[in-house]
Amino acid sequence: MTEPHHSPTPWPDARAIAARAAVKEAAHTAPVMLPLSEALGQVLAAPLAALTDLPPFDTSAMDGWALSGPGPWRLPTDEEDQGHGILAGHGEAAPLPDGHAVRIATGARVPPGATAVLRSEYGTDAGDGWLHASPAHPVVLGQDIRTRGQECRSGDQLLPAGTLVTPAVLGLAAAAGYDELPTVRRPRVEVLVLGDELLTEGLPYDGRIRDALGPMVGPWLRALGAELSGTRRLADEADAVYAAVAESSADVVVTTGGTAAGPLDHVHPTLRRLGAELLVDGVAVRPGHPMLLARLAPLGLEREGSGPEDAEPGSPEPGGPGPGSPGRGSPAPGSPGRGSPGPRKPEPGNSGPARPESSGNAESPRGAEGRRSPSGPARHLVGLPGNPLAAVSGLLTLAEPLLRTLTGRPAPAPGPAPLAEAVQGHPRDTRLVPVAFRQDMAVPLRFNGPAMLRGIAVADGLAVIPPGGAKRGAEVEVLDLPWSASATGQATDTDPAADRSAGRPAGRPAGGAADRQGGRATGRVTDRRATGRVTGRHATGREDDEDISPQEGPA
């Protein structure tokens, strides 16, 4: 395994490596069937093919009369009609003879023999048993009838695999006959927060500071489509870090801190002990250059039939075997084996200095559902640097592409935007700088130092500044934040006061949330989308216009 910080991986390569890292694991993940009520925010694991024609039968588009042939039309007697005509939600009505009309409701099945629907406001029932069309609205064949299969035929592909399940997708799926949807299983992620100096509440004191990453990283990963199995805070203690990583049943372990070369930086030593494969070890990006990505062996189990007590006495030392070797076995999940391991088999999970987060959704890393055969899918570890904005950089550089692959989502459309101001570059490394959109421009925000979150908290994205910097007006790539894109995160409702005091670019008028949102609605993000995915879809969607088709006329 390479030593830390030798030659940092170029930033674009690091993202590509992260996107490819879990291709095999993603391919072997079985879809999960979820009822529509639970599928919001998931990703379709298979294309959505219509299970029915839509509409499933010829339907009246308006309240009025179903007609057969040219008028005037004979209306049914009250006895024949029972007073209400044809309503929605009923079986097939009797055939309509030529020259006859019958009252019909919007959404009702059009009777056999009907040739058009006349809106109630365009016809006159004089009470003499005859219906007359208003001369201003001559009846056109087929008007106001939605013909069966107009939107789709049974079997038509409505949406491709990889589509995010939005409320509109749920509606379409229901209309097309689905009760449940095949979704991509969310990768399970565990966050391990390293650092003895961290406080979980109250004000900083005595050199100790608040943990800013515990509250941020888990929700960020969720917004990227992961299922958070827990956030745990670990003491800066080598065995605690080793045990927590070795025992984690998550698909992706995300650590914060401990990535540099200080005496208490335990991530590299842990990976060495685990025989992990370092895919990315340092990235040529500021902030965040010590970030890393590693492939871990599948979670090991004690050998079949052996309890933890019988774990082989000569079980290899941590660090001895390569990836995939069984026998780095740990006590079975939930088993009473805690006291048994010798000094070389550090205590797993919560029994060591590791402390589960009190806020509660932490599940035991030894939970029974985490059991997996040692030949199961590889796990991955993303090591985020401890400086908070450096950790954000790691989330976007490594965690986002890795989770994109594991969640089956398509790569986001690249979205360049012109810089409102020049941004100084690093001589060799890419810089990621928080920006806010104002009209069509990406405005670089202040407070973008590696230890600061004040800029990113009011940002719309992170601008990618190439080595050497970028001039005012230069088009740069802007990485979306998961809640500014179409992902599962809720819309952020940022505080205007925060904008005024914090992220506001120097010398610019304070914007406030409304301005920010207005800027985005008319600005670059929306434009990029409009010219990308949205327009692309629209171009293939001719049938979308059925309700303004000439047959139906303007509503």
Ligand X SMILES: Nc1nc2c(c(=O)[nH]1)N[C@H]1C(S)=C(S)[C@@H](COP(=O)(O)OP(=O)(O)OC[C@H]3O[C@@H](n4cnc5c(N)ncnc54)[C@H](O)[C@@H]3O)O[C@H]1N2
Cβ atoms of residues 291 and 383 within 8 Å: yes
Minimum CB distance to ligand X smaller for 4 or for 505: 4
Which partner, ligand X, ligand MOO, none, binds residue 256 by CB below 5 to 8 Å per kind?
Answer: ligand X
In sequence order, which residues have a C-beta less than 8 Å from that of residue 52 and are 6 or more positions away? Answer: 154, 176, 177
d(CA 419, CA 443): 6
Supply φ then ψ for residue 245, to 5 degrees.
-75, -45
Of 9-17, 110-118, 175-183, 192-200, the window that binds ligand X (rule: CB under 6 A) is 192-200
- Residue 102 pairs with which residues in a beta bridge? 66
| Piece of 119-127, 155-163, 178-186, 195-203 that binds ligand X (CB under 6 A) | 195-203
Which of ligand MOO, ligand X, none does residue 211 bind (CB under 5 to 8 Å by kind)?
ligand X
State yes or no: residue 450 binds ligand MOO (CB under 6 A).
Answer: yes
**146 interface partner picked from ligand MOO, ligand X, none, CB below 5 to 8 A per type:** none
Report what 184 binds from ligand MOO, ligand X, none; CB cut-off 5-8 Å by kind: none
| Closer by beta carbon to ligand X, 172 or else 271 | 271
Q: Quick check: helix, strand or coil at residue 267?
A: helix
Q: Please give the structure tokens belonging to residue 231.
A: 């956030």
Angle at 45 between CA 538 and CA 481, to 5 degrees: 65
State the amino acid at position 535 in one-letter form: T
Per the CB < 8 A criterion, the answer to whether 415 and 478 are in contact is yes
Q: Which 375-414 residues touch ligand MOO, going by CB under 6 A?
A: 385, 387, 390
Cβ-based nearer residue to ligand MOO, 290 or 383: 290
Q: Which of 213, 221, 245, 250 binds ligand X (CB under 6 A)?
A: 213
**In the structure encoding, which two tokens stand for residue 13, read together?**
């390569």
| 205-213, 271-279, 355-363, 412-420 -> range binding ligand X (CB under 6 A) | 205-213
Beta pairing, strands 430-438 & 283-286: parallel
| Residue 123 exposed, middle or buried by CB count within 10 Å (0-12, 13-18, 19+) | buried
Q: Which is nearer to ligand X, 27 or 209 (CB)?
A: 209
| Contact predicate 226/189, CB 8 Å | yes
Number of residues that bind ligand MOO (CB under 6 A): 9
The residue from 111, 288, 349, 523 that contacts ligand MOO (CB under 6 A) is 288
**Which range of residues in 75-83, 84-92, 114-122, 260-268 is near ligand X by CB under 6 A?**
260-268
195 binds ligand X (CB under 6 A): yes
If one asks whether residue 212 binds ligand X (CB under 6 A), the answer comes out as: yes
Report the DSSP beta bridge partners of residue 382: 254, 293
Query: Taking the complex as a whole, how short is the minimal distance between the CB of residue 14 and ligand MOO, in angstroms?
Result: 13
Q: Residue 432's binding partner, choosing from ligand MOO, ligand X, none, with beta-carbon cut-off 5 to 8 A by kind?
A: none
| Residue among 248 and 315 whose Cβ is closer to ligand X | 248
Pick one of 257, 287, 415, 434: the residue that binds ligand MOO (CB under 6 A): 287
Q: Beta strands of 36-152 (E only): which ranges?
A: 48-49, 59-60, 64-67, 73-74, 101-104, 116-119, 123-125, 130-133, 145-146
CB of 469 to ligand MOO, least distance (A): 16
Q: Applying CB under 6 A, does 256 fall inside the site for ligand X?
A: yes
**Residue 225 token pair:** 């489509």
Nearer to ligand MOO, 387 or 517 (CB): 387
Choose the binding region for ligand MOO from 244-252, 285-293, 302-310, 490-498 (rule: CB under 6 A). Answer: 285-293
Question: Which residue type occupies 212?
Answer: A
Cα distance between residue 311 and residue 299, in whole Å:
16
Query: How far, in Å, CA of 357 to CA of 254, rounded?
Result: 15
The CB-of-255 to ligand MOO minimum distance in angstroms stands at 15
Length of the chain, in residues: 555
Q: Is 259 in the site for ligand X (CB under 6 A)?
A: yes
Q: Where are the beta strands (DSSP E) in 113-214?
A: 116-119, 123-125, 130-133, 145-146, 157-159, 180-183, 188-194, 198-199, 209-210
Judged by CB under 6 A, the stretch of 133-141, 282-290, 357-365, 511-519 that binds ligand MOO is 282-290
Q: Which H or E run contains 128?
A: none
Residues making contact with ligand MOO (CB under 6 A): 286-290, 385, 387, 390, 450
Residues making contact with ligand X (CB under 6 A): 193, 195, 197-198, 209, 211-213, 256-262, 265, 287, 289-290, 385-388, 390, 450
